[in-house]
Structure 1
Amino acid sequence: MKIHPLITTSEALADLCERLSKADFVCVDTEFMRENTYWPELCLIQIADSEEAAAIDPLAKGLDMTPLMNLLVDNEDVLKIFHAGGQDVEIIYNITGKTPHPIFDTQIAMMAVSQSEQIGYSNLVESWLGLQIDKGARFTDWSRRPLTERQIEYAIGDVTHLAKIFPKLLQRLIKTGRGVWLNIEMEKLADPAGYRNDPDLSWHRIKAAGRNPAMLGRLKALAHWRELEAQDKNIPRGRIARDETVADIASHPPKTQADLAKVRGLSAAWKDNEIGRRMIAALDNAKPLPDDELPARTPRGAPLGKEGALVADLLKLLLKIRSREIDVASRLLARSEDLELLAAGVRELSMLQGWRFDVFGKDALDLVEGKMAFAVVNGKLKMTHVDDVAEDEAAAE
């Protein structure tokens, strides 16, 4: 594979993107800094197909990134490969307002061919290529210039290795027929809605108990205010106020600005500074959350009780057994909370639809309905249909 020198000119980038636009796929990775800012600062982009690879310096003076962004978000003929690509996709969305498409994430794909829930990149490379990655440059300051040869070599390795792994992983998916399992997961990763920093929706990320409209209205107002403050100052939202502090104030609103000095998580200065005044103004203007914005009630069946809890435990055991039997990550088949809902009588669940029903949901439902039983076969715990057990016993008599 040809490795290009660090790309710092618009001409070199345009030439690279022209060639890559004819590839079947490109592997993409980014290096960025976001510890002290609201918006992640893009410091390096690495890209490769099966024949060439390059690192691109987005901080280079005068560099026109348009050809690269067009390749990533507008060219539907080229598949974009990432590993744990959520933050990479977020950065591209922040720049273009669009997400890469079509998209393929090797971390997600590994859940369909192994029991790995969130395999790290170094473990992926070791598993597929037998190589040990030098992690020395992992926590480097990517914003500092000039970049060293070691930094660039480390960064480009993230895409050159991926370019070798992807075809092997794709063949495994084709051989097992599990590629279709991943369609929904990949589309979810590419959904622009997941990357919008909409202040009106920012309250959804804060954990708050209950569905009280007045409290949730205050939470929405505070979260909206905090998001705008953080964006304006370009600092992490937690530097304005932590989630727990925002939730606490929404639940127990102070009557005056002076009361902010008593709030855990805020300094005494908030009782008379400008940011404290803006917070109180946000609270004063808060309105109860309308019914159509209230969080949906979690589907509930009958209370689990002791017996239901035991059934839920059996379902979790079945999930572990099935995950081991077919070598797939259990999280791809079902979530723990959905197993509890199934035990409680809920039937509108993703595990009871499509391929998940065929692979796991049907047996899970049979277990709840008393049609499945545990058995030890050759020293291994397995699930067996009760009717099959009865037929085997009858045949043995």
Structure 2
Amino acid sequence: MSNNIQLHKNDLPDDLKLGNTIAVDGEFMGLNVRRDPLCLIQVSSGNSDAHIVQFDRKNYNSPNLIKLLGDEKITKIFHFGRADIAHIKHYLKTDVNNILDTKIASKLARSYSDNHSLKSLIKEFINIDISKQFQSSDFGGELAPAQLKYCANDVIYLHKIHEELNKILVRENRINLYRDCLKFLKIRVDLDLALFKDDIWAH
């Protein structure tokens, strides 16, 4: 498969059309939202494309991307969106609307497995064994071709993976539970940003 990977500085192009369902992922300097800046957002239409936005971290002036993420009519597929959405809300100052999440879907659908990593899902549903060598690498500076490929892999397969997980959720009568979990996701992000990291439902 030949993938179309494009790097954009600061924002998506004005004339870019990605359709009504996009895959989204982010790269940060770490998982502490306040300490570790948002470096990149990558999006895909699901047609073997990846558009990677590298931010000017002095101002995060990205109006086209912000409009896209907030658009209620466009579905966004994440894998563990909890971390991405928190960084987006903190640095881009916007809510992400109309969200799907393959990690939540996997945990509900694939009760036959205890591995819900993106690498595992790509292996099972796409039959490709991707490298996660650059998962822990510096995304704050100049990006190597291998890093760009890694970023692309995080979004180009999500449409197909979510489609397959959705089939299992419907078949196993867990689709309504999945939808209810998605309703709570933005609240879980708000709890994270308010520094409530523990399970508030625990005793």
One fold, TM greater than 0.5?
Answer: yes
Q: Which amino acid is the alignment partner of residue 48 of structure 1? A: S
Greater helix percent: which structure? 1
1:47 pairs with 2:47: no
Q: Is the alpha carbon distance of 1:36 and 1:71 closer, same or farther for their aligned partners in structure 2, counting shifts above 3 Å?
A: closer
Q: CA deviation at 1:38?
A: 3.1
Counterpart of 1:155 (choices 144, 151, 154) is 151
Counterpart of 2:78 (choices 71, 76, 82) is 82
Q: CA deviation at 1:61?
A: 8.7
Percent of residue pairs identical: 25
Q: Is the alpha carbon distance of 1:62 and 1:123 closer, same or farther for their aligned partners in structure 2, counting shifts above 3 Å?
A: same
Q: Is the alpha carbon distance of 1:7 and 1:61 closer, same or farther for their aligned partners in structure 2, counting shifts above 3 Å?
A: farther
Bigger radius of gyration: 1
Please list, as runs of the form range in 1=range in 2, the aligned pairs for 1:214-229 lying within 5 A after superposition. Answer: none
Q: Which residue of 2 aligns with 1:68?
A: 65
Q: Which residue of 1 aligns with 2:28?
A: 32
Q: Which amino acid is the alignment partner of residue 15 of structure 2? A: D
Q: Which residue of 2 aligns with 1:5?
A: 6
CA contact (8 A) 2:5 2:148 kept: no
CA contact (8 A) 1:122 1:132 kept: yes
Counterpart of 1:193 (choices 182, 187, 190) is 190
For structure 1, the residue ranges without an aligned partner over 5 or more in a row are 208-294, 299-397
CA contact (8 A) 2:38 2:91 kept: no
Q: CA deviation at 1:135?
A: 1.9
1:123 pairs with 2:124: no
Measure the CA separation in 2 of the matches of 1:84 and 1:206: 17
CA contact (8 A) 1:122 1:133 kept: yes
CA contact (8 A) 1:26 1:80 kept: yes
Aligned length: 199
Please list, as runs of the form range in 1=range in 2, the aligned pairs for 1:282-293 lying within 5 A after superposition. Answer: none
1:114 pairs with 2:110: yes
CA contact (8 A) 1:84 1:105 kept: yes
The 3-state SS of whatever aligns with 2:8 is: coil
Q: Which amino acid is the alignment partner of residue 173 of structure 1? A: L
Q: Which amino acid is the alignment partner of residue 15 of structure 1? A: D
Measure the CA separation in 2 of the matches of 1:180 and 1:59: 40
Q: Which amino acid is the alignment partner of residue 132 of structure 2? A: K
Measure the CA separation in 1 of the matches of 2:179 and 2:101: 11
Q: CA deviation at 1:97?
A: 4.0
CA contact (8 A) 2:191 2:197 kept: no
Measure the CA separation in 1 of the matches of 2:171 and 2:198: 42
Q: CA deviation at 1:71?
A: 1.1
CA contact (8 A) 1:14 1:68 kept: no
For structure 2, the residue ranges without an aligned partner over 5 or more in a row are none
Q: Which residue of 2 aligns with 1:142?
A: 139
Measure the CA separation in 1 of the matches of 2:106 and 2:31: 29
C-alpha offsets along residues 296-353 of structure 1, whole Å, 9 cap, x if unaligned?
Answer: 9x5xxxxxxxxxxxxxxxxxxxxxxxxxxxxxxxxxxxxxxxxxxxxxxxxxxxxxxx
The 3-state SS of whatever aligns with 2:43 is: strand
Please list, as runs of the form range in 1=range in 2, the aligned pairs for 1:238-317 lying within 5 A after superposition. Answer: none
Q: Is the alpha carbon distance of 1:40 and 1:178 closer, same or farther for their aligned partners in structure 2, counting shifts above 3 Å?
A: same
The 3-state SS of whatever aligns with 2:116 is: coil
Q: Which amino acid is the alignment partner of residue 26 of structure 1? A: I
Q: Which residue of 1 aligns with 2:88?
A: 92
Q: CA deviation at 1:178?
A: 2.2
Q: Which residue of 2 aligns with 1:171?
A: 167
Q: CA deviation at 1:122?
A: 0.8
Q: CA deviation at 1:40?
A: 2.5
Measure the CA separation in 1 of the matches of 2:106 and 2:198: 30
Q: CA deviation at 1:118?
A: 5.7
Measure the CA separation in 2 of the matches of 1:8 and 1:41: 16
